């Protein structure tokens, strides 16, 4: 049974999330809530562990996944920085990649498929080496959730290489790095419309390894990523759930402002990543 360790989880929104998860998975998901607050669960929805200090509570939550007691780490009512600082401590040995990154699963009604978006939530202005690692992380996630030879589009403003546009030059260089990749197609620079719209591809008469059928979108920096992420939500009626990856277990960082469906979607995304483990 998959087990979710929740840091600071004795909150109404987490209780609702746990209840919805039990309904969806027919009680086949276990929640262990770690908190300094009183236990608000009166129906035995979760296992509760009380601590006197936040420091002790966060340490024991992270230790739960480090010791293989739990399979997913979920942030409740604590600061993201506080949780990630503990995750990165060497004693837990949770970091499996050189760089942690954010990968989001996007369900956009305008498309007939789900796509992944990275990195719209963690790395601010990645270098070329860092962007390559972000792609590696996203590829690992894509393969773990069942994508077969995913097509990974490195986004820029256009498909042309412009020396004055750093994102296009970086995309070209990274495309070269991944040209021998056998389990994925990595290509850029590519505009958003050519990455996702076959109509745009036909209209522009574009020919390339990705023609409106990208599985994973890679943004050049957090500014573009954040704008795209929020545009999908606000104007595309998207459901999006994200996790931090590059660690032993997926980390779900939900916000109190997230809708419940987004929280549940993020948890489902994390569960997909550990399905075959």
Tens digit of pLDDT for each residue in 140-159?
A: 999 999 999 999 999 999 99
**Per-residue confidence (pLDDT) for residue 138, from 0 to 100:** 98
Tell me if domain 3-96+247-273 and domain 101-235 are identical in fold.
Answer: yes
Question: C-alpha angle 165/171/172, rounded to 5°?
Answer: 95
Give the pair of three-digit tokens for residue 263: 């929280």
Question: Is 25 a residue whose pLDDT tops 90?
Answer: no
In CATH, which superfamily holds the domain spanning 3-96+247-273?
A: Isopropylmalate Dehydrogenase (3.40.718.10)
Rounded mean pLDDT of 177-197? Answer: 97
Q: Which sign does the torsion angle of CA 185, 118, 254, 108 carry?
A: negative
The sign of the CA dihedral 180, 274, 130, 195 is: positive
Model confidence at 257: pLDDT above 80: no
Residues near 154 by beta carbon (within 8 Å), at least 6 away in sequence? 131, 135, 170, 171, 174, 175, 186, 187, 188, 189, 190, 218, 220
Confidence label for 27 from pLDDT (cuts 50, 70 and 90): low
pLDDT confidence band for 259 (50 / 70 / 90): confident
Other beta carbons within 10 Å of 257:
7
More confident residue, 261 or 108: 108
- Per DSSP, the three-state class of 169 is helix
- Give the position of tokens 């036909």: 202
Check whether 26 has a pLDDT greater than 70.
no
Give residue limits of the domains in the chain.
3-96+247-273, 101-235
Q: How far is CA 91 from CA 81, 85, 88, 134, 259, in A?
A: 18, 12, 9, 24, 35
- In the prediction, which pLDDT does 168 show? 97
pLDDT value of position 23: 84
* Dihedral (Cα; 144, 75, 83, 65), 10-degree rounding: -50
pTM of this structure? 0.94
pLDDT at position 208 is 96
- For the segment 83-102, the average pLDDT, to the nearest whole number, is 96
For range 172-196, the mean pLDDT: 97
Q: What percent of the chain has pLDDT over 90?
A: 91
Q: What is the pLDDT of residue 24?
A: 79
CATH top class, domain 101-235:
alpha beta
Give the pLDDT band of residue 129 (cuts 50, 70, 90): very high
Per-residue model confidence as pLDDT tens digits over 214-243: 999 999 999 999 999 999 999 999 999 999
How much is the pLDDT for 256? 59
Q: Compute the CA torsion angle 201, 205, 210, 211 (nearest 10 deg).
A: 30
């Amino acid at each position: 049974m998959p087990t979710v360790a929740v840091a600071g989880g004795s909150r109404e929104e987490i209780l609702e999330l746990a209840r919805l998860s039990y309904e969806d998975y027919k009680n086949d998901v276990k929640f262990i809530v770690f908190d300094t607050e009183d236990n608000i669960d009166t129906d035995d929805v979760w296992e509760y562990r009380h601590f006197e200090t936040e420091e002790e509570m966060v340490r024991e939550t992270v230790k739960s996944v480090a010791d293989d007691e739990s399979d997913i780490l979920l942030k409740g009512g604590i600061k993201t920085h506080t949780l990630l600082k503990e995750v990165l401590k060497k004693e837990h040995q949770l970091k499996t990649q050189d760089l942690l990154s954010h990968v989001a699963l996007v369900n956009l009604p305008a498309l007939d498929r789900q796509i992944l978006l990275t990195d719209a939530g963690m790395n601010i202005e990645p270098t070329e080496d860092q962007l390559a690692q972000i792609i590696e992380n996203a590829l690992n996630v894509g393969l773990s959730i069942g994508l077969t030879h995913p097509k990974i589009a490195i986004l820029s403003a256009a498909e042309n290489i412009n020396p004055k546009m750093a994102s296009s030059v970086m995309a070209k260089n990274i495309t070269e790095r991944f040209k021998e990749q056998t389990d994925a197609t990595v290509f850029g620079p590519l505009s958003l419309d050519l990455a996702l719209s076959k109509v745009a591809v036909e209209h522009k008469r574009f020919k390339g390894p990705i023609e409106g059928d990208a599985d994973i979108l890679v943004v050049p920096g957090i500014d573009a990523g954040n704008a795209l992420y929020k545009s999908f939500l606000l104007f595309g009626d998207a459901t999006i759930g994200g996790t931090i990856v590059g660690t032993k277990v997926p980390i779900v960082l939900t916000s109190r402002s997230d809708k419940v469906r987004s929280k549940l979607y993020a948890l489902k995304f994390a569960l997909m990543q550990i399905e075959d483990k």
